[in-house]
């Protein structure tokens, strides 16, 4: 049963600390997405990759956020330094070309 995995599932940190979230997409999927979900803003696209190349990161605050795909089995989203307003659930999703996206379980981030 192929699924997207994310670690950690929960993260509590203090303002100013670095946070790294990891995602393993479904094997064979060539597109990987990072989303952020909050009550106020809903589900927002931060960045996405196709065949490991970044296609769009216009939704991401560039001064503190960075997203990478070091290889086809790993995508990372890093926040440095973290701020309380970054508190949200971060979802990774993967898909194959233009087909539907499959979401991971999310990382619930709390920045104190």
Nearer to other proteins, 74 or 89 (CB): 89
State the nearest-atom distance from the C-beta of 43 to other proteins, in Å.
4
The β-bridge partners of 54 are: 49
Q: Give 8 or 16: the residue with its C-beta nearer to other proteins.
A: 8
- Of the pair 28, 42, the CB lying nearest other proteins is at 42
Q: Which helix (H) or strand (E) holds 35?
A: strand 31-38
With respect to other proteins, which residue has the nearer C-beta, 2 or 15?
Answer: 2
CB of 7 to other proteins, least distance (A): 14
- For residue 26, what is the DSSP state? P
Residue 44 CB partners (closer than 8 Å, separation 6+): 35, 36, 37, 59
CB of 89 to other proteins, least distance (A): 9
- Cβ-in-10-Å burial (0-12, 13-18, 19+) of 9 comes to exposed
| Minimum distance from residue 28 beta carbon to other proteins (Å) | 15
Interface with other proteins (CB under 8 A): 31, 33, 42-45, 48, 50, 55-56, 91, 95, 97-98, 100-106
CA-based nearest residue to 97, from 62, 51, 53, 65 = 51
């Amino acid at each position: 049963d192929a699924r997207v995995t994310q670690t950690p599932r929960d993260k509590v940190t203090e303002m100013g600390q670095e946070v790294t979230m990891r995602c393993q997409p479904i094997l064979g999927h060539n597109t990987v997405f990072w989303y952020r979900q909050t009550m106020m803003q809903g589900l927002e696209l931060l960045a996405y990759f196709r065949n490991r190349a970044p296609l769009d990161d216009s939704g991401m605050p560039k001064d503190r956020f960075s997203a990478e795909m070091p290889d086809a089995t790993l995508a990372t989203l890093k926040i440095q330094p973290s701020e309380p307003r970054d508190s949200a659930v971060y979802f990774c999703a993967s898909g194959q070309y233009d087909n539907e996206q499959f979401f991971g379980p999310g990382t619930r981030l709390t920045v104190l």
